[in-house]
A and B are shown apart, each in its own frame.
Chain A
């Protein structure tokens, strides 16, 4: 290179030192920058900061964001309800963000910065303990108290489900129940009475045998955590068996699982034998067990499945196009061999109000979730989705009566939720690592179905793993 100066100057050296300094400080910052501002979890939940009155004084609509996880017909319905709400009043403008599933919604929430958190988030019951411990939300109880709101008209089990230590944390909204779905036409073809669906797992097996004998594939089930593990919890709740200790996690943090091992073995063995004997189709892991419905359209078609009632509108809307030959009906969840001493617990989700929002935003969020709980809204929601009307007066509205007369399937999950006995079992378990335990259960099921593990061995392995997850959770949350 032609042009060169002879000596490095002191300026050069300075620059180099600066460069070195920059790089080193970047590296050092990594080690020292430990005290994070980027992630936080407060120490305690804040129960006392809901000023519902501030909304009276706003001059412009308060803009709030609602993260939900509704898809298909349910998404269409929630969108139109939000539009109705926005046009019906001028204090609040809610905008919806579809996070596509509860799991994604919860993960996204936990990863988001405080500022990015929405004003309302829809999470399933599994998030209860974890959300309370996070200290990132306002207990809805604060708004309930401030507004003098009454739950007298609500179904008790719905409110119990989201209440821990007499504090209601999220606002109930979309409540579902698992039901037995079956094709009445296939029943008739197999010489079975479509008005007399199986009521126990044993009868379910006998029915499947008759169906298979007449060319059906029998019963369809999946191995998805959000569907299968939930149904197992429901079967146990219906028999009155709590899932974890400390009164199903409601009188203190759960320390270990405490379901009746024999009943769990009965359930797992049932699914294994059904599959092995060619009476059931395993559709594998798929979101919310949606593939079970498609198994009704396969060749040979499945004719029964257990799935959430929340799919009612989506399935009934698609049926005339995709499966006009099917006569889809629903019946209550079958029982274990034990007597029903509990009741089906609520499924579905509730609406949380994240903390660290302005008073006006919190009041606006409360106003929207309160509105969604009004009888008229619950009726609209019920008919447009298949989720239950969660208060009695909603179920008494004429449009609900018409819908039920028109399509009796809608009534089944509602009656199921009123049946049985209120107990800690029917209120449902409260477990910190609830979703992880659900994942663990389907892993166990897969070991049994696909690798031939013995159900009893699987259940004891599952118990051990679940207890370890609870211990990990307790340690990591500083308990």
Chain B
């Protein structure tokens, strides 16, 4: 804004202090303090009621971060990201391109396509729970495909994660549709006009104009969807509880289960949480770089 000399008005400084104070108190109490405390808890072991906490030292970090369970959860989270992000974006692009014509009644389709943004993870997951249910589910009865029969997709080690991912992609579709549509809108129309004059087929127009100019949007989408994927919890909690054979035991579900479930192992959960923090830190830095470059109001 103005000069870089370090001259401050005391009134401005004190006003700034009071304006920032509410946020700082909240962040201090619920972000920075718990982060440090989580690191500290990672050095400890407690009993099954969270009491009798004893120091076990840094070895717990090494043990937990290299344990088969944590490695499995990290791997499942990565697989889940790979299953949800590209498909989610591709579906979003498909819908957005499909709906990107000035036809009558298009607003109805746009509203339908963006509607899943209004479904929470609980609503979306329960809809799919019913859909996948071998007893009442439509899939098992209409499509007589064996994987839909008992014990059903959600109990099948090779299908459970795909089923959970399907619910996630569906739930995120509204969001991806909205951002891709916005991205399409930002592409100058005269590019298409001159392309048409040059006789480019729609397929080539898509490849040579739409995709390249959409890339900032897609990059944003990839990062946000990846962050969402690594934070996912509700789908697993409602659909599979991490099973079968831990094939859907996402990192956050594993943290939750260790911290609040039958093994109630706060130390282990804390170490895993710090691991998740590492992943999130990298992702957020990428996200912020994108945000910083792209967001301009006005």
Option from A1, A110, A285 in Cβ contact (under 8 Å) with B2: A1
Determine the chain B residues whose CB is within 8 A of the CB of A1 once the complex forms: 1-2
Known: A36-B51, A110-B50. 5 other contacts (CB 8 A): A30-B37, A39-B49, A111-B260, A294-B135, A476-B46
> Which one of B95-103, B190-198, B238-246 contacts A?
B238-246
B55 to chain A, nearest CB (A): 9
Query: In whole angstroms, what is the CA distance A255 to B165 when docked?
Result: 41
Determine the chain A residues whose CB is within 8 A of the CB of B29 once the complex forms: 26
Q: B19-68: which have CB < 8 Å to A?
A: 24, 28-29, 32-37, 40, 45-53
For chain A, the bracket of interface size reads 35 or more
Query: In whole angstroms, what is the CA distance A107 to B48 when docked?
Result: 10
The residue of chain A having its C-beta at the shortest distance from the C-beta of B1 within the complex is: A1
Q: Are B13 and A16 in contact (CB under 8 A)?
A: yes
Q: Are B24 and A22 in contact (CB under 8 A)?
A: yes
Option from A7, A111, A285, A451 in Cβ contact (under 8 Å) with B155: A285
B59 to chain A, nearest CB (A): 14
Option from B28, B48, B241 in Cβ contact (under 8 Å) with A134: B48
Query: In whole angstroms, what is the CA distance A257 to B260 when docked?
Result: 26
Query: In whole angstroms, what is the CA distance A435 to B48 when docked?
Result: 12
User: A321 interface residue, CB < 8 Å from B?
Assistant: no
Option from A12, A23, A283 in Cβ contact (under 8 Å) with B32: A23
Q: Are A5 and B11 in contact (CB under 8 A)?
A: yes
Determine the chain A residues whose CB is within 8 A of the CB of B13 once the complex forms: 8, 12, 15-16
Q: B151-177: which have CB < 8 Å to A?
A: 151-152, 154-157
Query: In whole angstroms, what is the CA distance A134 to B28 when docked?
Result: 33
The residue of chain A having its C-beta at the shortest distance from the C-beta of B9 within the complex is: A5
Option from A8, A446, A478 in Cβ contact (under 8 Å) with B8: A8
Known: A34-B40, A39-B51, A41-B49. A282 touches B28 (CB 8 A): no
A-B pairs with CB below 8 Å: how many?
Answer: 156
> Which one of B71-79, B213-221, B261-269, B274-282 contacts A?
B261-269
B189 to chain A, nearest CB (A): 41
Determine the chain B residues whose CB is within 8 A of the CB of A33 once the complex forms: 37
Query: In whole angstroms, what is the CA distance A316 to B52 when docked?
Result: 47
Option from B10, B32, B152, B244 in Cβ contact (under 8 Å) with A446: B244
Determine the chain B residues whose CB is within 8 A of the CB of A223 once the complex forms: 151, 155, 244
Q: What is the 8 Å Cβ interface bit string for chain A, positions 438-479, against chain B (1 contact, 0 not)?
A: 010001001100110000000000000000000001001110
Q: What is the 8 Å Cβ interface bit string for chain A, positions 188-226, against chain B (1 contact, 0 not)?
A: 000000000000000000000000000000000001000
Q: Are A439 and B262 in contact (CB under 8 A)?
A: yes
Query: In whole angstroms, what is the CA distance A41 to B152 when docked?
Result: 42
A to B CB contacts below 8 Å, 18 in the list:
A1-B2, A4-B7, A8-B8, A11-B14, A12-B10, A19-B24, A23-B28, A27-B36, A30-B33, A33-B37, A34-B53, A40-B51, A111-B260, A284-B244, A298-B150, A433-B263, A446-B157, A477-B52
Determine the chain A residues whose CB is within 8 A of the CB of B2 once the complex forms: 1
Determine the chain A residues whose CB is within 8 A of the CB of B6 once the complex forms: 8
Determine the chain A residues whose CB is within 8 A of the CB of B49 once the complex forms: 39-41, 110, 134, 136
Query: In whole angstroms, what is the CA distance A477 to B49 when docked?
Result: 9
Determine the chain A residues whose CB is within 8 A of the CB of B37 once the complex forms: 30-31, 33
Q: What is the 8 Å Cβ interface bit string for chain B, positions 221-262, against chain A (1 contact, 0 not)?
A: 000000000000000000001011110000000000000111
User: B109 interface residue, CB < 8 Å from A?
Assistant: no
A91 to chain B, nearest CB (A): 31
Q: Are A450 and B53 in contact (CB under 8 A)?
A: no
Shortest Cβ-Cβ A-B pairs, 5 listed:
A284-B155, A284-B151, A41-B51, A30-B36, A294-B135
Q: Are A31 and B36 in contact (CB under 8 A)?
A: yes
Query: In whole angstroms, what is the CA distance A476 to B157 when docked?
Result: 32
Q: Are A285 and B241 in contact (CB under 8 A)?
A: yes
Determine the chain B residues whose CB is within 8 A of the CB of A435 once the complex forms: 262
Query: In whole angstroms, what is the CA distance A143 to B80 when docked?
Result: 53
Option from B7, B40, B156, B262 in Cβ contact (under 8 Å) with A450: B156
User: A291 interface residue, CB < 8 Å from B?
Assistant: yes
The residue of chain A having its C-beta at the shortest distance from the C-beta of B37 within the complex is: A30
Query: In whole angstroms, what is the CA distance A329 to B33 when docked?
Result: 59
The residue of chain B having its C-beta at the shortest distance from the C-beta of A9 within the complex is: B10
Query: In whole angstroms, what is the CA distance A4 to B12 when docked?
Result: 9
Q: Are B135 and A15 in contact (CB under 8 A)?
A: no
Option from A8, A26, A436, A451 in Cβ contact (under 8 Å) with B245: A451
Q: Are A31 and B40 in contact (CB under 8 A)?
A: yes
Q: Are B7 and A7 in contact (CB under 8 A)?
A: yes
Query: In whole angstroms, what is the CA distance A281 to B40 when docked?
Result: 48
Q: What is the 8 Å Cβ interface bit string for chain A, positions 42-59, against chain B (1 contact, 0 not)?
A: 000000000000000000
Q: Are A130 and B32 in contact (CB under 8 A)?
A: no
The residue of chain B having its C-beta at the shortest distance from the C-beta of A106 within the complex is: B262
User: B134 interface residue, CB < 8 Å from A?
Assistant: yes
Known: A26-B29, A284-B151. A443 touches B53 (CB 8 A): no
Known: A103-B262, A223-B151. A283 touches B48 (CB 8 A): no
Option from B10, B52, B157 in Cβ contact (under 8 Å) with A41: B52
Q: Are B244 and A5 in contact (CB under 8 A)?
A: no
Known: A5-B11, A15-B14, A29-B33. A22 touches B48 (CB 8 A): no
Determine the chain B residues whose CB is within 8 A of the CB of A110 once the complex forms: 48-50, 264
The residue of chain A having its C-beta at the shortest distance from the C-beta of B262 within the complex is: A435
Determine the chain B residues whose CB is within 8 A of the CB of A29 once the complex forms: 33
The residue of chain B having its C-beta at the shortest distance from the C-beta of A32 within the complex is: B40
Q: A323-339: which have CB < 8 Å to B?
A: none
Q: Are A41 and B9 in contact (CB under 8 A)?
A: no
Determine the chain B residues whose CB is within 8 A of the CB of A433 once the complex forms: 262-263
A228 to chain B, nearest CB (A): 12
Determine the chain B residues whose CB is within 8 A of the CB of A16 once the complex forms: 13, 17
User: A6 interface residue, CB < 8 Å from B?
Assistant: yes
User: A128 interface residue, CB < 8 Å from B?
Assistant: no
Query: In whole angstroms, what is the CA distance A439 to B246 when docked?
Result: 11
Q: A386-414: which have CB < 8 Å to B?
A: none
Q: Are B245 and A3 in contact (CB under 8 A)?
A: no
Residue with the greatest number of chain A CB neighbours at <10 A, chosen from B7, B134, B151: B151
Q: B118-159: which have CB < 8 Å to A?
A: 134-136, 150-152, 154-157
Q: Are B157 and A436 in contact (CB under 8 A)?
A: no
User: A297 interface residue, CB < 8 Å from B?
Assistant: yes
Option from B8, B46, B52, B264 in Cβ contact (under 8 Å) with A12: B8
Q: Are B48 and A450 in contact (CB under 8 A)?
A: no
User: A295 interface residue, CB < 8 Å from B?
Assistant: yes
Q: Are A283 and B245 in contact (CB under 8 A)?
A: no
A106 to chain B, nearest CB (A): 8
Q: Are A111 and B244 in contact (CB under 8 A)?
A: no
Query: In whole angstroms, what is the CA distance A26 to B28 when docked?
Result: 6
Q: Are A477 and B244 in contact (CB under 8 A)?
A: no
